[in-house]
Amino acid sequence: MTIDLTRISVVHVVLVAAAAGVAYATRWIEPASLVLGGAVMGANFYLLRLISNLLRPEWLDAARRGRAALAVAALVLKFGLFLGLLAALFWRVTLEGMSFALGVTLLLVACVVEAARIEWLSVKGVH
């Protein structure tokens, strides 16, 4: 079995929603900053998936030579947009840093959960 990037996205959304619910109920951390951190990483993950899909070998053929250039341009644009977004967030928008960092970290947790699920299924012998 291979790791499913769509499943990672779904697990990420569920984790962000659950953490935001707990944050709202307990007021231990700032829920809006947590959701914003999760949204930034979710958008980043989506754009990286889009760029990698543009660079897949089965998509690159002689008739479509511009796909690699389009992927490189999208990557440069992605980095520029996210640097600008993060700069605006930290200098213009009031954020609680630890809550934002927790929201950012939830994508990594989703990746680990999906990898552990795949490993568990392979140990069980499910293909």
Residue 94 or residue 10, greater confidence:
10
Question: Percent of the chain, pLDDT > 70?
Answer: 92
- Rounded to whole angstroms, the Cα distance separating 6 from 9 reads 5
* Helix (H/G/I), strand (E/B), else coil: 57: coil
- The residue segments making up the domain with residue 81 are 5-124
Digit-coded pLDDT (tens) for 52-74: 877 776 655 645 667 777 778 87
> Contact at 8 Å (CB) between 103 and 41?
yes
pTM comes to 0.81
Q: Which structure tokens are listed for 64?
A: 């479509």
Domain count, the chain: 1
